[in-house]
Amino acid sequence: MPKTLKTFVLRRTMVRECYRIDINSDCMSITIDRAMGNINIPYIPNSNPFDLRDIIWSFERQKNENGSIDKLTISNYPIPIETIDIRRAVRVLILANIAASSESNLIIRDNIENAVITDFHGLIDLFGPNSVIPFEFYLNNDKLMLIKSKKMMVRRN
């Protein structure tokens, strides 16, 4: 995609085999809804492109001028056999219909202000592997809300 592109919207699209869409890192708003195929999205953990040939998935990112992410939404995405570590500052993280393999885990660091996790299956590590207070838990198709304030509050519905 061109460097000057600030908004990228892709809906109901299938990227052909042997092709990849590369989205530039200066893009402020990215919305991908019900897409299939190989799409390289900047600032996704480990910078791995989404290569999902048989899965319809969705992604949304709203980036601020200072480089932080206002809203990051990922849905219908299977976490591969690896650790996914979201290192960017994110105001609202929404994960829905996510399935992690038994060898993978999701790391949510203290740079995430608020998180809503719905229909998630897998291991979640709060604060990261080098944290003074390690906290890991396993969700099995349940919902979790993490709201950051002066005192961290965890609610489960």
pLDDT digits (tens, 9 = 90+) for 130-145: 666 656 666 676 677 7
48: left (phi over 0), alpha (psi -120 to 50) or beta: beta
Q: Is the pLDDT score of 157 beyond 50?
A: no
Count of helices and strands (H, E) across the chain: 0, 12
pLDDT tens digits, residue range 46-100?
434 444 545 566 777 777 777 677 888 888 877 766 777 777 778 888 888 888 7
Q: Is the pLDDT score of 36 beyond 60?
A: yes
Mean pLDDT of 98-125: 80
Give the lowest-confidence range in 11-20, 38-47, 57-66.
38-47
CA 142, 74, 68, 135 torsion-angle sign: positive
Over the Cα atoms of the chain, what is R_g?
16
Eight-class DSSP state of 15: P
CB-count exposure of residue 97 (10 Å: 0-12, 13-18, 19+): middle
Distance CA 144, CA 64 (A): 26
pLDDT (0 to 100) of residue 154 = 43
Closest CA to 124 of 133, 134, 132: 134
**Which residues, 6 or more positions from 41, have their beta carbon under 8 angstroms from its beta carbon?**
23, 30, 32, 49, 50, 59, 61
Residues 68 and 89 sit within 8 Å (Cβ to Cβ):
yes
Domain boundaries, the chain: 7-156
Q: Which two tokens stand for residue 92?
A: 């609202």
Distance CA 13, CA 135 (A): 38
pLDDT (0 to 100) of residue 111 = 81
